[in-house]
Amino acid sequence: MSRPPTGRSHSGAKPGATREQVERRERFERARRESLRPDGDGPVVMYGWHTVTAALRNPARRVRKLLATENAARRLTDEGVKSTVAPEIVRPSAIAERLLPDAVHQGLYLETDPLPSPAVENLPAQGVVLVLDQITDPHNVGAIFRSAAAFAAIAIVTTQRHSPDATGALAKAASGALEHVPLVSVQNLARGLAALKDSGFLVVGLDSSGDADLAALPLRAPLALVLGAEGKGLRQLTKETCDHVARIALPGEIKSLNVSNAAALGLYVASRRL
């Protein structure tokens, strides 16, 4: 006989659930996560008011499917947000069952084709580019996209592996920023950084152990700011490829920030210096 697990499982199963129920829940959530990952010709999934309406307003987006509740469809009409595909009017539960638990969809669900991804060699040699070294949390990456859009970053560069897809929770956290900041995916980050340097970019890694203060460095455009995953930070080869490894000087007792906050602060420092 299966014993109930002790306490609440990471998958969100209720206390007292049997082992079979916990495993079934975990399988369900794994399958749901995989369904939100675009593969090849698969669609990008978006939900939430700001995320979906920004995509609908982007002429580069090719819409495949739009689900909306009656209230959301009415609001789209009232605010003049048009879609090339007529919305299918559904109950909120019909959207919720397509998403992970606790996803806040606000009555809108969209499936689109991915936006084109430029090659790192073709990025314009101007402004600021953010480079993410194996940052895997979609909420952090989405928040970084939002800051990048606010500071008019040219692009965000990530690795093909060990990075989240531009869909689902990442798109929701980005709150429409995916429509304004191109995502560049590279197979090898060190080679991607070398390509940026060949294009004239100054490449600066951000790390709490950096020798220099970012605000004191002689920054210039074009500039690439490189951020590492929380906990691990920048990988050694990434550090060695950077022109400088700098820290953000903090006056408090805690000397490190959440990576999305570090990105926003790094962009602010760069915008003031350039």
Last residue of a domain, one of 63, 83, 112: 112
Residue with the larger pLDDT of the pair 260 and 15: 260
pLDDT band at 34, cuts 50/70/90? very low
Predicted local confidence at residue 199, as pLDDT? 97
Residue 148 maps to a domain = yes
pLDDT at 255: 79
Does residue 269 lie in a domain region?
Answer: yes
Q: How far, in Å, CA of 228 to CA of 214, rounded?
A: 15
Q: What is the average per-residue pLDDT within 260-268?
A: 96
Picking from 112, 140, 166, the residue at the C-terminal end of a domain is 112
Pair 140, 105 in one domain: no
Query: Could you tell me if residue 247 is inside a domain?
Result: yes
Q: What percent of the chain has pLDDT over 90?
A: 74
Average pLDDT score over residue span 35-45 = 61
Please state which of the ranges 24-38, 127-141, 218-232 shows the lowest mean pLDDT.
24-38
What is the pLDDT of the chain when averaged over all its residues? 88
Q: What is the pLDDT of residues 209-230, one digit of tens each?
A: 898 999 999 999 999 999 998 7
C-alpha span between 244 and 173 (Å, rounded): 30
Within this chain, do residues 265 and 140 fall inside the same structural domain, yes or no? yes
pLDDT confidence of residue 5: 41
The pLDDT of residue 14 is above 90: no
pLDDT band at 26; cut points 50, 70, 90: low
Q: How far is CA 237 from CA 51, 68, 72, 199, 233, in A?
A: 35, 47, 48, 20, 12
Q: Are residues 173 and 132 in the same domain?
A: yes
- Binning pLDDT at 50, 70 and 90, where does residue 22 land? low
Going 50 to 28 to 135 to 58, the CA torsion angle's sign is: negative
Q: Which amino acid is at 235?
A: R
* Helix (H) or strand (E) segment spanning residue 143: helix 138-150
The more confident residue out of 205 and 254 is 205
pLDDT for position 18 = 72
Q: Can you give the pLDDT at residue 16?
A: 62
Q: Residue 251: how many CB atoms within 10 A of its CB?
A: 5
Note the pLDDT of residue 39: 46
CATH number of the domain enclosing 82: 3.30.1330
Q: CA-to-CA distance for 15 and 30, rounded, in angstroms?
A: 20
177 and 269 share a domain?
yes
Domain boundary among 75, 96, 112: 112
Decide if pLDDT at 253 tops 90: no
For 119, other C-beta atoms within 10 Å of its C-beta total 11
Shared-domain flag, residues 199 and 182: yes
Helices (H) then strands (E): counts for the chain: 9, 11
Question: Domain with 260 in it: what CATH number?
Answer: 3.40.1280.10
Structural domains of the chain, count? 2
Assess if residue 106 is contained within a domain: yes
pLDDT of 231 = 78
What is the reported pTM? 0.82
Q: How confident is the model at residue 21 (pLDDT cuts 50, 70, 90)?
A: low
- One domain, residues 58 and 164: no
Q: Looking at the structure, tell me whether residues 124 and 193 fall in a common domain.
A: yes
* 3-state secondary structure (DSSP) of residue 9: coil
How many other C-beta atoms lie within 10 A of the C-beta of residue 219?
A: 19
Domain residue limits at 267: 120-273
10 confidence band (pLDDT: 50, 70, 90): very low
Decide if 244 contacts 204 (C-beta within 8 A).
yes
